[in-house]
Amino acid sequence: MNRRVLSGIRATGRLHLGNYLGAVKGMLALQADPNYETFYMVADLHTITTPYDPKILKENVREVILDYLAAGLDPQKSVIFIQSQVPQHTELGYLFSTLVTVARMQHLPTFKEKVKQHPENVTMALLNYPVLMAADILMYKASLVPVGIDQEPHLEIAREIASKINSRFGLAFPEPQRFATSGEYVPSLTGEGKMSKSVEGSNIGLSDDLAAIREKLAKVPTDSGSGNQVPTEGGVATLLTLVELFEGKEKTEQYRKQYQTEGIKYQDLKNELAEAIYQELKPIQERRLEFENKPEMVDKIIEEGNEKARQEAQKTLSEVKQAMGLI
């Protein structure tokens, strides 16, 4: 039997390079491998665990779908769907919540981070975030999950739930592993932390044109350009990571040597890097435009994906309900 893959991204707007390199590239690699059956969703139910605007949620779901298709997710090869349109996820999430303690959830670093960001919004749904995510993954019996390294604590919870439900109810869920890409941690343009949607000036968007990319790179903080030790954090480290991801290891090594000898001219580095990033994004942007111009086709892709996902989901949900003594 083919092995299953599931991944998802929250609907907070258009994707950035962190999402693309950490998640979407892995999604594409597994989609291209005939040994895997791939399920890729928009995690709109996870989106509403933090403050959001209901007026633009649907729009944002659409943005993620369009970015998925533009980046190369192929409805002929992958089931592309919207989490909330497969109500079985919520139900399985509830059943799973009976297996997890509140204390375990409260101690997760991802939970603590969100509490810090939104102290006024520490809801049950936020606490339950990893449980719903485990339901997303185990629903399709996925053994591989292409996500960035920040999601590892959530995968640990999914493994714990799989192991508990297997031993307590005699089921056979796989314990899912993360599928890592070389961009599993894309640093922020500010030089502090990871690239993210919520931090102003930290990211490059998949839809940014060359001028926007240049402008954003111009703001990355740098130093004098030379010294004995090549920086391992801050803006210079971010630039070198992006050079490695878009221009290759050799180029990064050249810059490292240059740093320790005659010095780096950051303006040249940034210009070259902007070109390299744009070269990768350009075909994605062109494809996006094509899909934007065919809204009915996109609607159909989503509807068919939702339907396929619902069928698969119902099988697992019935199995779990039976094992738990509900049916």
**Which residues are near ligand TYM by CB under 6 A?**
6-10, 18-19, 21-23, 43, 46, 133, 136-137, 145, 147-148, 150-151, 154, 183-186, 194-196
* CB-based burial, 98-107: b 16+ in 10 Å, e otherwise: ebbeeeebee
Q: Which is nearer to ligand TYM, 147 or 274 (CB)?
A: 147
Q: Which is nearer to ligand TYM, 264 or 309 (CB)?
A: 309
Q: Which is nearer to ligand TYM, 16 or 288 (CB)?
A: 16
Closest residue to ligand TYM, Cβ-based? Answer: 22
Q: Which is nearer to ligand TYM, 84 or 252 (CB)?
A: 84
Q: Which residues contact 285 (CB under 8 A, 6 or more apart)?
A: 70, 206, 207, 209
Q: What span, in angstroms and rounded, lies between the C-alpha atoms of 170 and 305?
A: 30
Q: Which is nearer to ligand TYM, 4 or 270 (CB)?
A: 4
Amino acid residing at 131? V
| CA–CA–CA angle 122, 99, 81 (5° rounding) | 70
Sheet holding 142-146, edge to edge: 78-82, 36-43, 3-10, 142-146, 177-179
Q: Of all residues in the chain, what percent are helix, strand and coil, respectively (each to 5)?
A: 60, 10, 30
Integer-rounded Cα Rg, in Å, for the chain is 21
Q: Does residue 223 contact residue 231 with C-beta atoms inside 8 Å?
A: yes
Q: Does residue 204 contact residue 189 with C-beta atoms inside 8 Å?
A: yes
Q: State the nearest-atom distance from the C-beta of 133 to ligand TYM, in Å.
A: 4
Q: What span, in angstroms and rounded, lies between the C-alpha atoms of 252 and 41?
A: 35
Q: Which is nearer to ligand TYM, 46 or 270 (CB)?
A: 46
Q: State the nearest-atom distance from the C-beta of 151 to ligand TYM, in Å.
A: 5
Name residue, tokens 């791939």: 38
Q: Which is nearer to ligand TYM, 8 or 191 (CB)?
A: 8
